[in-house]
Structure formats: structure tokens, C-alpha cells
Amino acid sequence: MEENGKIGQKDRQEKNSFRRSAVMNLMLVIVLVLLSNVLSVFVFKRFDLTAEKRFTLNDHTVQLLEELNDIVYVRVYLDGDLPAGYQRLRNATREMLDEFRVHNKKVEFEFINPSDANDEKERKAIYKQLMDEGLRYTTPVEQKDAGMTQSLIWPGALITYRNKTVPVQLLQSKTYRTEDEMINRSVNDLEYEFTNAFRKLQTTIKPSIAFIEGHGELDSLRTYDFMQALREYYIVDRVRIDSQLNSLVNRTVRGDSSIFYPRYKAIIIAGPDSAFSEKDKFIIDQYLMRGGRILWLLDRVNASMDSLGQQSSALVYPRELNLDDMLLRYGVRINANLLMDLRSASIPLVTGQVGNQPRMEFFRWFYFPLSLPESKHTIVNNLNAIRFEFASSIDTLVAPGIRKTVLLAGSKRGQLLNTPGRISLNILREEPDPKMFTSSGVPLAVLLEGKFDSHFRNFRNDLRTDNRIGFLAQAVKPGAMIVVSDGDVAKNGYSKSSGKISPLGYDKYTRELFGNRDFLVNCVNYLCDDSGLISVRARNVELRLLDHARVKVEELQLNLINVGLPVLLFIVMGLILLYIRKRSYASRSNS
């Protein structure tokens, strides 16, 4: 009896100890929950577990949001009964705006269905107002069980900040092969489109840049799309140097001294076909010494498809621009050759007749290399392939204090054609021999940064002593230039008969859109110290899109898995628990 009493007392002690431990654990959990709630009021932290950090804003975007000192009101006109792809775009837009509000509560937004008005007259008035504000509509066709349906959608937004309103087109207007690609790219670019709009709203004065003229450069029609893209950020001029010392540099006289400063933040020299005079070179050189930035887009060889219009072959020869010695001083040399690359764009050729119509086939034209950016530099990161036409190789040379970065290069299968020489369409008739294409990674675009020495530092001429220019033998501060060995990289298509201008980088035959425009805009943004905007544009969010054809074929199988598998798992778990319970009772009965 005494022994049984001791056992009972011991059991009671163990139970009491267990209860105290349980109460302590419960109290500890309650305290931790309360403490975490209190801390969450003062400390805010979110975790983005997606592979591509889809819900993490770029630092530049966060900075722009933090600089908003007043209410920003966003009206998104993408709502209502939408096709699946546009629903995805709407949801992604809402998520992006929610992210903006996390960083600044001054961001307010609403979603509006402009087609919600019952009266047709009222709807038309709303549509006209949206068009006047700068938004565009689209009319997608959707396949439904009842047949094809077409709807009118306004995939855009109006952002208002301090009595200033800017439109944002959420749907990319560029040419894509499928609607999924278009929606995917539009979702990917949402942060950039909104960030760009915030930047416009906060910018009061645009910096000035200039296209140089007077040496046979590409005219305003051939660079129209490039110029339009740049006008979003800059005042764009076209300037003839014409030996005028003040064409690129301003001079301010203060007492007995003069202050010189660049007239433009950057200049663009796009596809000149005639030689630069020594005086024009001197003016450009001193512009660089004063802190100016330069984008060189130069054709070192005379070659064009027009020369192959009547014949199957044409002579190509070096183009004398009188810039070689100047570029050598800065640290690069564009060689008088042409890159032939197995990774190249296609051109159509007539190969026969089908009835009364010519039969066209596409062939790779090795003189139109496609450069896929491999560098992680912010200028080219995540860009599409850039299309070149008759590009030359670039050598980087020793220049004290100058850092060189190859931005774009040819593929591992290239071949260099020295000039003078001949190009011929007959090479398309034969399969290329890979053994002949041994030049790997030929540089086509190079960034140079540092304190440049003047090309004229060891020259003796009257210009050096002219007080209207204030000669400098070395740059006053670190500068930058980008050298691209092709002027046509900036040339958009233009039809003289219709006056129609094609987007820069658009191939009218294959209907592909290459990354030329984004690359060149990035170049100018970088030269003008707008690298933050480039990093937002370079962002790439990979969307996992459904294969609609496969879904349609395997619809029954997928439904069975989605509905039947959970039920089957529930039954299996029930049987397992029932088995465990029976085993437990059986073991207790035996004991």
C-alpha cells in the first residue's frame, strides 16, 4: 500500500510538472506573439522569395518614390470583363502599385472601366477624353466557345502630380509574334513605365543633347525613332559645327577670365560619310576635354545593300573620315574590315517562280551580324540581340588612365574580310564552312571612361592660343565615350513613297524587333549619368505562361488530377490513421 501511495504521489508530481511546463510554454508563445506584433509596428520587413525578385523594386525606383512630396494619383483604365492576358496585366499592375504604396503612402490609385457607362454618347465622350490625354486603345480578338469576340480595351493609366498629368501606356506597342509575348513584355516593363512617368513628373528642366551634322551623317528621317526615344529625357538638337568654336562649348567672360562649359550633355555622331576637318576635330576634342560625352556610330567601310541592287557583287573599300588618329589617342581603333558572322540576320532572295509570282526564300546574310549581349554591364544587361549592318572590328589600345569595356561583340564563329575587297550574294548559294569562321568575340561596341588626353596636346597651331576656346591638354574631369563600329545601327526604316517610318531595329521581312533602340538609348542615358533608369529598364521578370494548346489536349487529365488527387490522398491518409489506431488499441489490450 505504501509503495502504491508513493507511485501515485510521483504520478501527481509529474502531472503537475507537465502542467506548469505547458502553462510556461503557452505564456512564452503569447509573449513572443505580442512582442512580434509590437516590433512590427516599428520595424517593417518584407521577404521576396521569387527567383527573379519580382516583388522587389529597383533602388532607383525606391529613390524616386521617396522623393515624392505630394499625392500621386494613378487612374488605371484597365478593368471590367477582360481577356485572360489582359487580366494578368491588370493584376500585375495592381501588384506593382501596391508595392509603390508600401514605400510611399502618397501613391494613390484606382482602376476604372471606361466602357462602364450605360449611355453610348457618354462612352464616346470618355473615349475621346482618353485619346486627348494621350492613351491608346486596343481591340483584341478572343476565341470563346460561342465563337470569336472582339472587345475595346484601354490598357493605360493617367498619373497626376501637382497639377501635371502624364499618360502611361501599359501595353507595349512594339511588334511581337504572339499576344502572350506582348503581355509578358508589358508585365516585365511595368516598373520601368511607371518609374519613367514619375521621373517626368519630377523633372523641371531637361538636359540638352545634340546630333552632329555637316559630314554626311544620318538625317532626321533616318534617326527619327532614335530621336523620339531620346526626347522623353532630353532636349534634342541637330548641330552643324562648321568650324564655329562656340558650336559645342559655351564661354562666359567674368572680368579678365573666361569660363568654358559644354553646351550639350552629350553629342551623337551617327554614320558620317565624309571627312572631318582638323578644325571640327579640334572643337570636338575640346568639348570632350570640358566634360562633354560622345557617342560615335561610325562606318569604317563603304558598303551598302544598295550597291547590290543591280548586281550580285560589289566593291567595298575603306571610308576616309579623318578620325583614326583622334580615336587612337583616346584608346581605340576601328579597322577597315567587315565582320562576317554565322550568327546573323536573314535577307529575302528570289529563288524562282510560283505561277506569276516570285518565290522568296530567306538566307543568313553574314554581313549583318547579330550581337547577343554577354556583358553584365548596365548598358547591355538583358537586352535583345542588336542588329548590325556591315560592321567592322574594334581594337582597344593602351591609353593611360582610360578604362575600356567591350559592350557588344560578334559570336564565336566570325570571319574578317579585309578591304578593299568584294562582297557577293553568291556566298548564299553554298553552305558556309565553319572552319573558315575562326574569329571569336570580335568587339563591335566599346565604352571608354577616364581622363582623356587631348589629341592636339602635342600639336602647334593657332587654335591652341585662341582665347575663344581656352585650350586644354587634358580633360578637367573623368569623361566617357562609346564607340560603335556601325552607323546603320541607329538607322530606322523609311519609305519615301508612303512616308512611313519603321521602329528602330525592326526587320520588315522577318517582323522581328531587335534591341537597337534600347541599346542606343541606354548608351545616351549612361553618358548623361542616368544609369539608374537603365537598371530599371534592364530588369527581366520571367513569367511562367500556360501552354494553351497542351491545356486543351490534356484538359480531362488535368481536371481528374486536380479534383481526384486530393480526394484520393484524403482516403489514403484516413486508412493510414485507422490502421495506426487499431495497432495502438491492440498493443494496449495485450499489455
Say if residues 483 and 329 touch (Cβ distance below 8 Å): no
Please state the φ and ψ torsions of residue 376, each to the nearest 5 degrees.
-90, 10
Return the pLDDT at 189.
85
pLDDT for residue 145 is more than 70 = no
- Coil/strand/helix, residue 380: coil
Confidence of residue 311 (pLDDT cuts 50, 70, 90): confident
Q: Which residue would you say has higher pLDDT here, 63 or 530?
A: 63
Rounded Cα distance, 546 and 251, in Å: 61
Confidence of residue 3 (pLDDT cuts 50, 70, 90): low
Confidence of residue 464 (pLDDT cuts 50, 70, 90): confident
Q: C-alpha grid cell for residue 415?
A: 570571319
Highest mean pLDDT among 179-183, 349-353, 388-392, 496-500: 388-392
Of 66, 156, 77, the C-alpha closest to 106 is: 66
E-assigned strand segments in 230-356: 235-240, 249-254, 257-262, 266-270, 293-297, 301-302, 313-318, 332-334, 337-341, 344-354
For residues 200-214, b (16+ Cβ closer than 10 Å) or e, as one string? bbeeeeeebbbbbbb
pLDDT for residue 591 is more than 60 = no
Return the pLDDT at 17.
63
- DSSP letter at 428 equals G
Q: Given the C-alpha cell 562648321, which residue does it identify?
A: 242
* Start-to-end C-alpha separation, the chain: 23
SS3 content of the chain, % helix, strand, coil (to 5): 35, 25, 40
pLDDT above 90 as % of the chain: 51
pLDDT in tens, 39-83: 655 554 554 545 555 557 888 888 888 888 899 999 999 998 898
Indicate the angle between helix axes 59-66 and 190-202, nearest 10 degrees: 40
Rounded Cα distance, 44 and 260, in Å: 49
CATH number for the domain running over 59-199: 3.40.30
* Mean pLDDT of all residues in 435-450: 96
pLDDT for residue 174 is more than 60 = no
pLDDT for residue 294 is more than 80 = yes
- Cis amide leading into 432 (omega within 30): no
pLDDT in tens, 208-222: 999 999 999 999 999
* Mean pLDDT of all residues in 419-434: 90
pLDDT in tens, 212-270: 999 999 999 999 999 999 998 999 999 999 989 889 999 888 777 788 899 999 999 99
- DSSP letter at 529 equals T
* Mean pLDDT of all residues in 76-101: 92
Of 23, 26, 493, the C-alpha closest to 226 is: 493
For residues 479-489, b (16+ Cβ closer than 10 Å) or e, as one string? bbbbbbbbbbb
Confidence of residue 111 (pLDDT cuts 50, 70, 90): very high
Q: Given the C-alpha cell 488527387, which residue does it identify?
A: 565
* Mean pLDDT of all residues in 171-194: 78
Return the pLDDT at 459.
81
Highest mean pLDDT among 8-17, 370-379, 453-462, 465-474: 370-379
pLDDT for residue 479 is more than 90 = yes
The bridge status of strand 394-396 relative to strand 332-334 is: antiparallel
Confidence of residue 392 (pLDDT cuts 50, 70, 90): very high
Rounded Cα distance, 549 and 547, in Å: 6
